[in-house]
Structure 1
Amino acid sequence: MSEQLPVLVAVDGSEESDAAVRWAAEEALRAGVGLRIVTAYPWPIGGYPQTVVTVDQMRDSLRAQAVERLAHGREVAERDGLEVHTSAVEGPVVPSLVEVSRDARLTVVGSRGLGAFEGMVLGSTGVALAAHAHSPVVVVRGEVDTDARKVVVGVDAEEDAALEFAFKHAAAIDSTVVAVHAWSESLVEIAYLGEFSAVDWTPLGDRAGEDLAKRLATFRERYPNVPVEQVVDRARATRLLLDNAKDATLLVVGTRGHGEFTGLILGSVGQALIRHAPCPVAIIRPTTS
């Protein structure tokens, strides 16, 4: 059912949202589904002269601006064979987007914005959207390299949702999956059990690599035509992911995990990726299929 749902993209008229529209349009066209462009206009709590501007006039003005944003988004999204629908929602940005994401295969937003979307992804608003949307969320930022053929995915100890999304996307665009696993944080307690210098990290690193290979075995079998590379290092997850995403077409991460990936999106690591990743970032919740 979700395979037939449209790609949803939020717009606010900024250059960043234009980039999100272009990315979403290409994704919808590739998947053979429609594109839904939505904008939200929160009702102002106060601060406007009600003696000069009536409530109805204010609402009409806000809606007119929303309609203009949608018309601009439609122009940016125009592709031969792509079915585009637009809608304006009156209400708070995040709850509005969370609600409409129920009927989307993917929710796409820009990395920053103006007006109603200002600070949307750079602050707590974007984190809330990543945590509560009913579909995967893609934050379009950095340079979108259409020639790149590498999908980077952060791998934790349990989640398969991010891996499934990464392999499916890589298969669709004829790309390589680079599975990245950072294991230093999970071994901090080991280091403190005795002399730090006495810890032999080599077998621990080998074990981490073997565990990752086992995690990937199912996906290699399911997607036999997708090349796979493993990156396992005793390093900070943020830095390891950013380094490997430099020439990637997409960086895929989950929202929970153990060790270095604990609280990935809901904590500082996820926020750092959204702020600094050199390519679009896909945020996958465990419940996403």
Structure 2
Amino acid sequence: MSGQIVVAVDGSKPATAALEWAADDARRREAALRIVHVREPWAHEYPFHAVEGFAQSYSEFCEGVLAAAAARARELAPGLEVTTELAEGTVVETLRAASAAADALVVGSRGMGGFSGLVLGSVGLGLTGHAEVPVVVVRKPHRDEYHEVVVGFDGSPHSEAALQFAFEEARARRGRVHAVYAWEMPMVSPFAVGYGLALQEIFDNECRAARLRLAPWRDKHPDVPLVESAVCGHPVPALAEASLVADLVVVGSRGLGGVRGALIGSVSHAVLHRAHCPVAVVRPRDGLS
């Protein structure tokens, strides 16, 4: 493999977790790692040295964040090609532009300015809705490896893009893809004649549909094991449960039920808040929305 992984850093704990995940991912993919820190225009040369406890200008602080991040990445992955960039602008738009040609953009769930009670900050949410490349949101430091990548699949173009990214990640990890295909049962009267038989028939049909939709992916990626789970219920709880024993959960930015024009669908948004491992949000490369 080759390419580039971009990671955003700001010195916060979630950003450090994102850096460590990105360095590991770049090593697995045999890709370069580009570390970006964005200096917002309003903070230009703020005199931190005038505040008790700060002996650096803001520029020096930013450069220190990048230097520390690069050192940590090289420590975790010796031999990894690491570059740094100090950019200036609004954070979301600057990171979106900086990652336009990358394989993925990795961010922490919250930055230094985030509120402690929030699971996902405005930068992470903004990037998952606007970036053209897969955005991986990392909340916690690296955990034990499970060699499994979970992906939500419903047959939509966005879930097809998510499935492709899931296979790439699973191959890099020498693991398997676990495709979760969930649907909600149509509302019918529980007293209808043959209700139980109808439910079983619907379940069997949905399982068959899942296998048929995933069959071409088995043929396309014969070297990566693929297992599927057909779940009768809302996809969010199913994906959250699967994330307990996964290295990564991958979702499309929107699914078949998404509102046209929405930047990120309700399922993707909920998974970002409820998953127990890093989450990648993927949109089709051709810009479908």
- Structure 1-normalised TM-score? 0.84
**Cα distance change of structure 1 residues 265 and 236 upon mapping to structure 2, 3 Å threshold:** farther
Q: Per-residue displacement from partner, 1:154-208 (whole Å, max 9, x unpaired)?
A: 0013221111111222122111211101100xx44xx2xx524434221111111
- Stretches of structure 1 that go unaligned for 5 or more consecutive residues are 54-59
Contact 2:109/2:119, CA 8 A, preserved across alignment: yes
Give the letter for the 2:142 counterpart.
V
Q: What secondary structure, in the 3-state scheme, does the structure 2 residue paired with 1:103 have?
A: coil
| Identical-pair percentage | 39
1:284 aligns with 2:282: yes
Structure 2, unpaired ranges of 5+: 51-55
State the alpha-carbon separation in 2 of the partners of residues 37 and 117 from structure 1. 24
The separation in 1 between residues aligned to 2:118 and 2:85, in whole angstroms, is 19
Task: Return the alpha-carbon distance in structure 1 between the equivalents of residues 119 and 3 of structure 2.
Answer: 24
Contact kept in structure 1, 2:153 and 2:181, CA below 8 Å: yes
CA-to-partner distance for each residue in 1:53-76, whole Å, 9 max, x for gaps? 9xxxxxx93322211110111121
Aligned match for 2:72, one of 69, 76, 81: 76
Are the counterparts in 2 of residues 12 and 117 from structure 1 also a CA contact under 8 Å? no
Shift of the alpha carbon at 1:274?
Answer: 1.5
Report what 1:244 is aligned to: 242
Question: Which residue identity lines up with residue 92 of structure 1 in the other structure?
Answer: T
* Correspondence list, 1:252-271, <5 A: 252-259=250-257, 266-271=264-269
- Relative to structure 1, is the Cα distance of residues 157 and 20 closer, same or farther in structure 2, using a 3 angstrom cutoff? same
Look up the match of 1:131: 129
Q: 1:143 to 1:65 in 2, by over 3 A?
A: closer
Mapped to 2, the partners of 1:258 and 1:216 lie a distance apart of 16
The residue number in structure 2 matching 1:156 is 154
Offset at residue 146 of structure 1 (A): 4.3
1:195 aligns with 2:193: no
Pairs aligned (count): 271
Q: Give the structure 2 partner of residue 274 of structure 1.
A: 272
Judged with a 3 Å threshold, the aligned counterparts in structure 2 of structure 1 residues 175 and 262 are, in CA distance, closer, same or farther, namely farther
1:43 Cα deviation after fit: 2.0
Structure-1 separation of matches of 2:170 and 2:224: 7
Question: 2:174 is matched with which residue?
Answer: 174
> 2:109·2:121 contact (CA, 8 Å) conserved in 1?
no
Please give the secondary structure, in 2, of the residue aligned with 1:246.
Answer: helix
TM-score (norm 2): 0.84
How much has 1:125 moved relative to structure 2?
A: 3.5
Q: How does 1:212-251 map to 2 (within 5 A)?
A: 212-251=210-249
Corresponding residue for residue 87 of structure 1 = 85
- Match of residue 206 from structure 1: 204
- Judged with a 3 Å threshold, the aligned counterparts in structure 2 of structure 1 residues 163 and 182 are, in CA distance, closer, same or farther, namely same
Structure 1 moving runs of 4+ over 6 Å: 116-121, 261-265
